[in-house]
A and B are shown apart, each in its own frame.
Chain A
């Protein structure tokens, strides 16, 4: 499903210093107007990919197309993208308004007009009250909103976010991510969001692109990536899965699909972890396989188990998902 504002990577490769490959021959279509998360462990090439899209990193080979136009060699500001930096990169000597209006000033828009436009953007992120403050006088979450307003004032087709939530405390992180999702829906532009947190990606993304070792491991809707991981790496990285090695191959089995059933196969409890709604049991099953089972809290406490005790496990064979690698 292509739209007018698609972003497309065509065989994009990034090499540093001739040999080290950060991104290896990656091709992907980012559908316009969608929220996409680039997910992967550190060093997997997700940040390099984002920085190449932004134009802050040169592309060694391949092309980047936005709205059907080749932007591979264009300077950052002429691509139709805007970037929100991990450390926010607000100009410390400028007030909130001047920070937001910076790009308009560079274009030569006159003061009154750019101030009005900046005020409008600040309203959008609910920061109107702080217009005259300096960045150092704001909290992390507030700085983030200002950075967001500054990126959006250029009217980008694609907003690039480099680990935008990693500097915030957990409580604020959850609030900000709801905010990001709301903004993306309201503005109708694409957000490409780099993160290493799978919960963040699941909560936000229309599409998740899992990267590993400079390559895209799997890309698809959030539910598909979570429920049908293609490879062992994806299953383990997304979490909530057991990888079971059987003679027929490797299978992923969701932790919450395992239940305690006297008719099932035997396993020994290794550890018990109370997690609120669930209790996580680490078990050693036949063939020395380690499994994690998430048992609903109420069920578990009807018959509590301790490490060292034996239990019987069962699951629907139909929920075993075969891994391709």
Chain B
């Protein structure tokens, strides 16, 4: 018995066991159950265990599905692009322009202030700002920039993306900042020694070396946006749809099999997107 316990093989398995069990119970098992339920059928008042492609046939047969998926991709792509530009700029400023470490820490904490309140509160606080008679419109009118309140500020794609950007930019800043801090400063001197201008250094040295951070941030933002349903509901005033809302509506109607099928397709889509991203950069090699 003692000999078995001391064998390095057994020790290894034992050490890995707790995490394996946790992941199996709380990640693998639920996903397996969702996949199983996605093949069940449902009537208006009951759920019937079965093996039927009905849910998937309905999903892929409906034109709404494609529109909603397209809309989800649109939100993800625009949010990704905006958070990338913002996140890169903020991280660049923090990493290369703020010299003292005290200031770096202070400004970094400043970035996290929005996270001191909950998601919902952060979202809702935009409503009085962007509303028809909100601060933004009344300020613009009193400045004489516009004559009538802007209608597209709230309950529109604009407000949805604004909220996404607000919620998720920090997820882009942190990994990019991290990789930037690990760039050897003498590389920047070597670049300037070779006659590179500020922009050339940014493009030829800093950007390629920050790629792993950009990829990690992109994965965060894309998965968060594609899985979201509450932001879209609040900020679009229930006028826009994404896949998350499709699922949440099904659940509200107790249509679990249909919700599961949609969830499985969404999961596959997100995994595929990340797979493509990982193809572009070998994160393990570059970390």
A contact residues vs B (CB 8 Å cutoff): 54, 56, 75-78, 82-83, 85-87, 89-93, 102-103, 105-107, 150-151, 154
Contacts and interface: CB of A to CB of B under 8 A. Distances in A.
Given A76-B192, A89-B190, A91-B205, 7 more contacts: A76-B193, A77-B196, A83-B190, A102-B194, A103-B194, A103-B195, A106-B196
B189 A83 contact: yes
B205 to A, nearest CB: 6
B208 interface: yes
A80 to B, nearest CB: 12
Contacts of B195: 76-78, 103, 106-107, 154
Given A91-B205, A92-B209, A93-B208, A102 B191 contact: yes
Given A102-B194, A106-B196, A106-B200, A89 B205 contact: no
A281 B61 CA distance: 96
Given A87-B184, A91-B205, A150 B194 contact: yes
Nearest to B197: A106
A92 B191 CA distance: 13
A76 B189 CA distance: 9
Nearest to B196: A106
Interface in B153-190: 184, 186-187, 189-190
**Most-contacted residue by chain B among A90, A91, A105, A151 (CB, 10 A):** A91
B193 A56 contact: yes
B20 interface: no
B189 A85 contact: yes
**Chain B contact residues: helix, strand, loop or mixed:** helix
Contacts of A85: 186, 189-190
B273 interface: no
Contacts of A93: 208-209
A138 B194 CA distance: 22
A77 B194 contact: yes
For the residues of A in contact with B, the DSSP-based class is mixed
Nearest to B195: A77
A111 to B, nearest CB: 14
Contacts of A82: 193
List the 6 closest A-B pairs by CB distance, nearest first: A77-B195, A103-B194, A89-B190, A89-B186, A93-B208, A106-B196
B96 to A, nearest CB: 15
Contacts of B191: 91, 102, 106
B238 interface: no
B215 to A, nearest CB: 14
Contacts, number: 60
B192 to A, nearest CB: 5
B204 interface: yes
A208 B195 CA distance: 30
A91 B192 contact: no
Nearest to B201: A106
A151 B189 CA distance: 12
A281 B3 CA distance: 59
Contact of A89 (B189, B196, B200, B209): B189
A40 B184 CA distance: 26
A106 B200 CA distance: 7
Contacts of B189: 56, 76, 83, 85, 89
Which of A56, A107, A151 has the most chain B CB within a 10 Å cutoff? A56
26 contacts: A54-B193, A56-B192, A76-B189, A77-B192, A83-B190, A83-B193, A85-B186, A85-B189, A87-B186, A89-B189, A90-B190, A91-B190, A91-B191, A91-B205, A93-B209, A102-B191, A102-B204, A103-B193, A103-B194, A105-B204, A106-B191, A106-B195, A106-B196, A106-B204, A107-B195, A150-B194
Contacts of B204: 102, 105-106
A105 B195 CA distance: 10
Contacts of A91: 187, 190-191, 205
Interface string B77-121: 000000000000000000000000000000000000000000000
B190 to A, nearest CB: 4
B176 to A, nearest CB: 16
Q: Which of B194, B195, B205 has the most CB of A within 10 A?
A: B194
A183 to B, nearest CB: 18
Contacts of B197: 106
A82 B192 CA distance: 10
With a 10 A CB-CB cut-off, give which of B184, B191, B195 has the most chain A CB atoms: B195
A91 B192 CA distance: 13
Nearest to A103: B194
A154 B194 contact: yes
A286 to B, nearest CB: 53
A89 B184 CA distance: 8
Nearest to B205: A91
Contacts of A90: 190
Contacts of A89: 184, 186-187, 189-190
A298 B195 CA distance: 58
B285 to A, nearest CB: 10
B261 to A, nearest CB: 43
A130 to B, nearest CB: 19
Contacts of A56: 189, 192-193
A77 B208 contact: no
